[in-house]
Chain A
Amino acid sequence: MDVDLIFKIAGIGMVAAILHMVLEKSGKQEYAYLTTLVGVIIVLGVVINLVSQLFSDIKVLFRLY
């Protein structure tokens, strides 16, 4: 499994946090919130793919179908 996915997501999280702070300091609260939202959506897409793969593996493994 791609272990570097954890570092990618942590990186996106830190970049989003820094962007949020920078935009907030420069007075653009709405853009700050939007960048954080975009970051969360990207990471959510990755997480949903991973969770769906987990569910299919569990379905086959534990004969849950």
Chain B
Amino acid sequence: MSELEQLTEAIRKGDRKQAGQLTETLLDAETDLEQVLGAMVTAMDDIGAKFQRNEIFVPEMLIAARAMSEAMNLLEPRLIAAGIKPKYTAVIGTVQGDLHDIGKNLVAMMWKGAGFKVVDLGTNVTPAKFVEAAREHTPHVIGLSALLTTTMPAMKSIITALREAGLNGSKVVIGGAPITQSYADEIGADAYASDAGSAVDVVRQLVAA
């Protein structure tokens, strides 16, 4: 197994220490940076696919994401120094009134694992803050998360605020336990993602469209 393949495997297994060591070895050997990134993306794609098939669950996904972060923290400065920027930017947040962050964090990790720049606005994010972030970062996608049935109506307010501000360049994807495709259609979201694995497929389709 090549060292790149070993890095993919270490992230898949969630072996943080090994993922870090392999990344250092690869960087010291002046491996092509895009290839190192590619090895990480391959691992997280595999994690996302297995998650969607109910073969792995939140614990395995979290552990893999932590291993990926370990590797990414080493790679990122080198990418910046080499002038390699993420092709796509995503803004994400849990909507106003909702303090739940597990789902939002999982999606943010998976988007990072897919090579996106991710701007995480945290929880309890107002429509005004989403508008501000959309202006500042001109993201390709904006992700809205809600766990509570009582807070999901805030998604509609955010989409309205973005449209009223003329920020139509960013595609809005929504998700969370009570969210459905029909709700996404009803409030005019561009897409719905049923879980953190499919959230990657969904935004890849959105940015390719």
Same complex origin of A and B: no
B-side interface residues toward A, CB under 8 Å? none
